[in-house]
Protein backbone atom coordinates (compact mmCIF):
# COMPACT_ATOMS: atom_id res chain seq x y z
CA UNK A 1 0.00 0.00 0.00
CA UNK A 2 1.41 3.30 -1.02
CA UNK A 3 1.71 6.30 1.24
CA UNK A 4 -1.01 8.11 -0.75
CA UNK A 5 -3.53 5.33 -0.15
CA UNK A 6 -2.67 5.24 3.56
CA UNK A 7 -3.33 8.94 3.95
CA UNK A 8 -6.68 8.60 2.12
CA UNK A 9 -7.79 5.83 4.47
CA UNK A 10 -6.81 7.66 7.65
CA UNK A 11 -8.04 11.11 6.57
CA UNK A 12 -11.02 10.72 4.22
CA UNK A 13 -11.23 13.25 1.50
CA UNK A 14 -14.29 15.52 1.90
CA UNK A 15 -16.14 16.78 -1.11
CA UNK A 16 -15.52 20.43 -1.85
CA UNK A 17 -18.05 22.68 -0.16
CA UNK A 18 -20.36 24.63 -2.36
CA UNK A 19 -19.57 28.24 -2.59
CA UNK A 20 -22.44 30.57 -1.78
CA UNK A 21 -23.52 32.18 -4.97
CA UNK A 22 -23.26 35.90 -5.13
CA UNK A 23 -26.86 36.18 -6.31
CA UNK A 24 -28.26 34.27 -3.33
CA UNK A 25 -29.45 36.69 -0.64
CA UNK A 26 -27.89 36.37 2.78
CA UNK A 27 -30.10 35.59 5.72
CA UNK A 28 -29.97 37.16 9.14
CA UNK A 29 -29.96 40.75 10.25
CA UNK A 30 -27.36 42.89 8.57
CA UNK A 31 -26.36 46.23 10.01
CA UNK A 32 -26.98 49.16 7.68
CA UNK A 33 -24.05 51.00 6.28
CA UNK A 34 -22.39 53.85 8.14
CA UNK A 35 -23.90 56.66 6.00
CA UNK A 36 -27.40 55.26 6.53
CA UNK A 37 -26.88 55.09 10.28
CA UNK A 38 -25.54 58.64 10.34
CA UNK A 39 -28.51 59.94 8.37
CA UNK A 40 -30.91 58.11 10.69
CA UNK A 41 -29.15 59.52 13.75
CA UNK A 42 -29.25 63.05 12.34
CA UNK A 43 -32.97 62.71 11.54
CA UNK A 44 -33.70 61.50 15.09
CA UNK A 45 -31.71 64.35 16.64
CA UNK A 46 -33.42 66.96 14.45
CA UNK A 47 -36.86 65.56 15.30
CA UNK A 48 -36.01 65.49 19.02
CA UNK A 49 -34.82 69.11 18.94
CA UNK A 50 -37.90 70.16 16.97
CA UNK A 51 -40.30 68.65 19.51
CA UNK A 52 -38.36 69.32 22.71
CA UNK A 53 -37.22 72.89 22.02
CA UNK A 54 -40.69 74.42 22.74
CA UNK A 55 -40.92 72.40 25.96
CA UNK A 56 -37.48 73.59 27.04
CA UNK A 57 -38.44 77.19 26.27
CA UNK A 58 -41.64 76.76 28.30
CA UNK A 59 -39.66 75.49 31.30
CA UNK A 60 -37.14 78.34 31.02
CA UNK A 61 -39.79 81.03 30.55
CA UNK A 62 -41.77 79.79 33.55
CA UNK A 63 -38.82 80.57 35.83
CA UNK A 64 -38.56 84.21 34.75
CA UNK A 65 -40.20 87.34 36.05
CA UNK A 66 -42.38 89.61 33.93
CA UNK A 67 -39.49 91.98 33.23
CA UNK A 68 -36.87 89.34 32.40
CA UNK A 69 -39.26 87.41 30.15
CA UNK A 70 -38.59 89.82 27.27
CA UNK A 71 -35.20 91.26 28.26
CA UNK A 72 -33.25 87.97 28.45
CA UNK A 73 -32.59 85.35 25.75
CA UNK A 74 -35.44 82.91 25.39
CA UNK A 75 -33.40 79.74 25.97
CA UNK A 76 -31.24 80.99 28.84
CA UNK A 77 -32.23 80.98 32.51
CA UNK A 78 -32.44 84.18 34.50
CA UNK A 79 -33.00 84.66 38.22
CA UNK A 80 -35.34 81.79 39.21
CA UNK A 81 -38.88 82.95 39.94
CA UNK A 82 -40.82 79.72 39.48
CA UNK A 83 -42.13 79.48 43.04
CA UNK A 84 -43.17 83.12 43.00
CA UNK A 85 -44.91 82.62 39.66
CA UNK A 86 -46.77 79.58 40.99
CA UNK A 87 -47.87 81.51 44.06
CA UNK A 88 -49.08 84.41 41.93
CA UNK A 89 -50.82 81.95 39.60
CA UNK A 90 -52.64 80.35 42.52
CA UNK A 91 -53.79 83.65 43.98
CA UNK A 92 -54.79 85.48 40.82
CA UNK A 93 -58.55 86.08 40.49
CA UNK A 94 -59.32 84.07 43.64
CA UNK A 95 -57.51 80.98 42.37
CA UNK A 96 -59.60 80.58 39.22
CA UNK A 97 -56.72 78.70 37.56
CA UNK A 98 -57.10 75.66 39.83
CA UNK A 99 -60.82 75.68 39.15
CA UNK A 100 -59.95 75.39 35.48
CA UNK A 101 -57.60 72.52 36.29
CA UNK A 102 -60.39 70.73 38.15
CA UNK A 103 -62.78 71.25 35.25
CA UNK A 104 -60.22 69.90 32.80
CA UNK A 105 -59.64 66.82 34.96
CA UNK A 106 -63.39 66.17 35.11
CA UNK A 107 -63.82 66.59 31.37
CA UNK A 108 -60.77 64.46 30.57
CA UNK A 109 -61.05 61.64 33.12
CA UNK A 110 -64.82 61.19 33.14
CA UNK A 111 -65.12 61.87 29.43
CA UNK A 112 -62.32 59.48 28.42
CA UNK A 113 -63.64 56.65 30.61
CA UNK A 114 -67.17 57.01 29.21
CA UNK A 115 -65.76 57.29 25.69
CA UNK A 116 -63.81 54.04 26.12
CA UNK A 117 -66.93 52.22 27.34
CA UNK A 118 -68.99 53.45 24.39
CA UNK A 119 -66.24 52.65 21.88
CA UNK A 120 -65.67 49.22 23.42
CA UNK A 121 -69.34 48.32 23.22
CA UNK A 122 -69.68 49.52 19.63
CA UNK A 123 -66.43 47.94 18.45
CA UNK A 124 -67.22 44.65 20.19
CA UNK A 125 -70.68 44.51 18.57
CA UNK A 126 -69.28 45.24 15.11
CA UNK A 127 -66.60 42.58 15.49
CA UNK A 128 -68.54 39.77 17.15
CA UNK A 129 -72.05 40.00 15.69
CA UNK A 130 -73.42 39.71 12.20
CA UNK A 131 -76.46 41.85 11.43
CA UNK A 132 -78.10 43.49 8.47
CA UNK A 133 -76.49 46.79 7.53
CA UNK A 134 -73.19 46.07 9.29
CA UNK A 135 -71.12 47.11 6.26
CA UNK A 136 -73.10 50.32 5.98
CA UNK A 137 -72.42 51.15 9.62
CA UNK A 138 -68.69 50.48 9.26
CA UNK A 139 -68.60 52.54 6.08
CA UNK A 140 -70.36 55.42 7.79
CA UNK A 141 -67.83 55.32 10.64
CA UNK A 142 -64.96 55.36 8.17
CA UNK A 143 -66.54 58.24 6.28
CA UNK A 144 -66.95 60.24 9.50
CA UNK A 145 -63.17 60.22 9.92
CA UNK A 146 -62.92 62.39 6.81
CA UNK A 147 -65.02 65.16 8.35
CA UNK A 148 -62.96 67.71 10.34
CA UNK A 149 -64.05 68.38 13.89
CA UNK A 150 -64.29 72.11 13.25
CA UNK A 151 -67.03 71.47 10.67
CA UNK A 152 -69.13 69.65 13.27
CA UNK A 153 -68.57 72.19 16.04
CA UNK A 154 -71.36 74.57 15.04
CA UNK A 155 -74.04 71.87 14.46
CA UNK A 156 -73.04 70.26 17.75
CA UNK A 157 -73.39 73.58 19.53
CA UNK A 158 -76.88 74.12 18.09
CA UNK A 159 -77.90 70.62 19.15
CA UNK A 160 -76.57 71.20 22.67
CA UNK A 161 -78.49 74.47 22.91
CA UNK A 162 -81.72 72.83 21.76
CA UNK A 163 -81.28 70.16 24.43
CA UNK A 164 -80.76 72.84 27.07
CA UNK A 165 -77.26 71.60 27.94
CA UNK A 166 -75.32 74.74 27.13
CA UNK A 167 -73.18 76.10 29.96
CA UNK A 168 -73.20 72.70 31.72
CA UNK A 169 -70.73 69.87 32.20
CA UNK A 170 -72.95 67.54 30.19
CA UNK A 171 -72.82 69.89 27.21
CA UNK A 172 -69.09 69.20 26.91
CA UNK A 173 -69.05 65.56 28.02
CA UNK A 174 -71.83 64.12 25.85
CA UNK A 175 -70.46 65.19 22.44
CA UNK A 176 -67.05 63.77 23.36
CA UNK A 177 -68.53 60.27 23.63
CA UNK A 178 -68.79 60.07 19.83
CA UNK A 179 -65.28 58.93 18.83
CA UNK A 180 -65.23 57.18 15.46
CA UNK A 181 -61.53 56.36 15.51
CA UNK A 182 -61.91 54.72 18.91
CA UNK A 183 -64.77 52.55 17.62
CA UNK A 184 -62.63 51.32 14.74
CA UNK A 185 -59.71 50.58 17.04
CA UNK A 186 -61.93 48.64 19.43
CA UNK A 187 -63.38 46.67 16.53
CA UNK A 188 -59.90 45.69 15.39
CA UNK A 189 -58.80 44.80 18.92
CA UNK A 190 -61.92 42.68 19.45
CA UNK A 191 -61.35 40.80 16.20
CA UNK A 192 -57.74 40.03 17.11
CA UNK A 193 -58.08 39.26 20.84
CA UNK A 194 -61.56 37.80 21.48
CA UNK A 195 -61.99 34.24 20.12
CA UNK A 196 -65.51 33.37 19.03
CA UNK A 197 -65.12 29.86 20.46
CA UNK A 198 -64.80 31.31 23.93
CA UNK A 199 -68.00 33.28 23.47
CA UNK A 200 -69.84 30.17 22.30
CA UNK A 201 -68.62 28.28 25.35
CA UNK A 202 -69.87 31.07 27.61
CA UNK A 203 -73.28 31.00 25.91
CA UNK A 204 -73.49 27.24 26.41
CA UNK A 205 -72.83 27.81 30.11
CA UNK A 206 -75.84 30.11 30.25
CA UNK A 207 -74.09 33.51 30.33
CA UNK A 208 -75.94 36.45 28.82
CA UNK A 209 -74.50 38.75 26.19
CA UNK A 210 -73.96 41.62 28.63
CA UNK A 211 -72.16 39.37 31.09
CA UNK A 212 -70.00 37.94 28.29
CA UNK A 213 -69.06 41.43 27.17
CA UNK A 214 -68.18 42.63 30.69
CA UNK A 215 -66.48 39.46 31.94
CA UNK A 216 -64.72 38.29 28.78
CA UNK A 217 -64.75 40.98 26.12
CA UNK A 218 -63.52 43.90 28.21
CA UNK A 219 -60.79 41.83 29.87
CA UNK A 220 -59.40 40.46 26.63
CA UNK A 221 -59.54 43.91 25.01
CA UNK A 222 -57.92 45.66 27.98
CA UNK A 223 -54.63 46.42 26.22
CA UNK A 224 -56.37 48.01 23.26
CA UNK A 225 -58.77 49.89 25.52
CA UNK A 226 -55.83 51.57 27.25
CA UNK A 227 -54.71 52.86 23.85
CA UNK A 228 -58.16 54.28 23.17
CA UNK A 229 -58.20 55.73 26.70
CA UNK A 230 -54.94 57.57 26.06
CA UNK A 231 -56.16 59.02 22.76
CA UNK A 232 -59.48 60.04 24.29
CA UNK A 233 -57.77 61.62 27.29
CA UNK A 234 -55.43 63.69 25.13
CA UNK A 235 -58.31 64.78 22.92
CA UNK A 236 -60.41 65.85 25.90
CA UNK A 237 -57.50 67.60 27.61
CA UNK A 238 -56.74 69.64 24.49
CA UNK A 239 -60.38 70.27 23.57
CA UNK A 240 -60.89 73.95 22.90
CA UNK A 241 -63.49 74.81 20.27
CA UNK A 242 -66.52 73.03 21.73
CA UNK A 243 -66.05 74.35 25.31
CA UNK A 244 -65.51 77.81 23.86
CA UNK A 245 -68.90 77.65 22.13
CA UNK A 246 -70.87 75.82 24.82
CA UNK A 247 -69.56 77.42 28.02
CA UNK A 248 -69.83 81.05 29.07
CA UNK A 249 -69.38 80.69 32.83
CA UNK A 250 -65.72 81.09 33.80
CA UNK A 251 -66.27 78.60 36.62
CA UNK A 252 -66.91 75.82 34.08
CA UNK A 253 -64.32 76.40 31.33
CA UNK A 254 -61.27 74.12 30.96
CA UNK A 255 -57.63 75.18 30.90
CA UNK A 256 -57.50 75.63 27.15
CA UNK A 257 -60.24 78.24 27.13
CA UNK A 258 -59.12 79.93 30.35
CA UNK A 259 -55.47 80.31 29.36
CA UNK A 260 -56.46 81.56 25.91
CA UNK A 261 -58.58 84.25 27.54
CA UNK A 262 -55.66 85.26 29.73
CA UNK A 263 -53.39 85.36 26.70
CA UNK A 264 -55.76 87.74 24.92
CA UNK A 265 -56.06 89.91 28.04
CA UNK A 266 -52.27 90.04 28.45
CA UNK A 267 -52.18 92.67 25.69
CA UNK A 268 -53.53 95.19 28.18
CA UNK A 269 -52.37 93.43 31.38
CA UNK A 270 -48.64 92.65 30.94
CA UNK A 271 -48.41 90.64 34.18
CA UNK A 272 -50.65 87.93 32.72
CA UNK A 273 -48.01 86.90 30.20
CA UNK A 274 -45.92 85.17 32.87
CA UNK A 275 -49.03 83.56 34.35
CA UNK A 276 -50.02 82.19 30.95
CA UNK A 277 -46.58 80.64 30.48
CA UNK A 278 -46.52 79.19 33.99
CA UNK A 279 -50.06 77.89 33.65
CA UNK A 280 -49.15 76.25 30.35
CA UNK A 281 -46.26 74.45 32.04
CA UNK A 282 -48.54 73.21 34.81
CA UNK A 283 -51.09 72.01 32.25
CA UNK A 284 -48.46 69.92 30.46
CA UNK A 285 -47.39 67.97 33.56
CA UNK A 286 -50.54 65.75 33.85
CA UNK A 287 -50.40 64.90 30.15
CA UNK A 288 -46.76 63.80 30.41
CA UNK A 289 -47.51 61.77 33.54
CA UNK A 290 -50.45 59.97 31.93
CA UNK A 291 -48.50 59.28 28.74
CA UNK A 292 -45.51 57.85 30.62
CA UNK A 293 -47.76 55.79 32.86
CA UNK A 294 -49.69 54.26 29.96
CA UNK A 295 -46.80 54.03 27.50
CA UNK A 296 -46.26 50.30 27.98
CA UNK A 297 -49.92 49.48 27.30
CA UNK A 298 -50.10 52.02 24.49
CA UNK A 299 -47.18 50.48 22.57
CA UNK A 300 -48.44 46.91 22.95
CA UNK A 301 -51.97 48.01 22.00
CA UNK A 302 -50.79 49.64 18.79
CA UNK A 303 -48.83 46.50 17.93
CA UNK A 304 -51.92 44.33 18.36
CA UNK A 305 -53.95 46.62 16.12
CA UNK A 306 -51.19 46.87 13.54
CA UNK A 307 -51.00 43.08 13.15
CA UNK A 308 -54.70 42.93 12.40
CA UNK A 309 -54.56 45.74 9.87
Residues of the domain holding 252 = 94-269
- Of residues 119, 109, 147, the one with CA closest to residue 301: 119
In a domain, 55, yes or no: no
Lowest mean pLDDT among 120-134, 244-258, 266-280: 266-280
Q: Residues 27-63: pLDDT tens digits?
A: 445 777 888 889 999 999 999 999 999 999 999 998 8
Is residue 2 a part of any domain in this protein? no
pLDDT of 3 over the 50 cut: no
Instruction: Work out the average pLDDT over 88-98.
Output: 90
Please report whether residue 34 resides in a domain: no
Q: Quick check: is 308 in a domain?
A: no
Structural domain includes residue 226 = yes
Residues whose CB falls within 8 Å of the CB of residue 254, separated by 6 or more in sequence, listed in order: 100, 103, 104, 107, 172, 239, 243
Domain presence at residue 140: yes
pLDDT tens-digit profile of 157-208? 999 999 999 899 999 999 988 899 999 999 999 998 889 898 899 999 888 8
- Does the pTM of the predicted model rise above 0.75? yes
Q: In this structure, which long-range contacts are made by residues 117-121, counting pairs with CB atoms below 8 Å and at least 24 apart in sequence?
A: 118/177, 118/178, 118/179, 119/179, 119/182, 119/183, 119/185, 119/186, 119/228, 119/232, 120/186, 120/217, 120/218, 120/221, 120/225, 120/228, 121/213
Give the burial string for 57-66 (b: 16+ CB within 10 Å, else e): eeebbbbbbb
The crossing angle, in degrees rounded to 10, of helices 222-237 and 272-308 is: 150
Note whether residue 238 is domain-resident. Answer: yes
Give how many domains the chain has, as a whole number: 1
Whichever domain contains 214, its CATH number is 1.10.3720.10
Q: Find all residues with CB under 8 Å of 201, minimum gap 6, and list them.
A: none
Percent helix, strand and coil across the chain, each rounded to 5?
A: 75, 0, 25
- Residue at 243 is within a domain: yes
Element counts in the chain: helices (H) and strands (E): 17, 0
In whole angstroms, what is the distance from residue 127 CA to residue 110 CA?
26
Task: State pLDDT tens for residues 277-297.
Answer: 999 999 999 988 888 887 776
Amino acid sequence: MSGRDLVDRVVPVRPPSRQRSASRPTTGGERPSLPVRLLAMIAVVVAAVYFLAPVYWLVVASTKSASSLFTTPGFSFAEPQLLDNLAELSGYDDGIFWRWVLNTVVYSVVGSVLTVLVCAACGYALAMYEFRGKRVVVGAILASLLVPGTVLAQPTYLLVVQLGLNNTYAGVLLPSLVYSFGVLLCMVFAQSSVPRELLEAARLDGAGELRIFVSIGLRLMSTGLVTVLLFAFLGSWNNYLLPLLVLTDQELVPLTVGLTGWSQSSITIPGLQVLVVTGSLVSVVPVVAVFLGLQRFWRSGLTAGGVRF
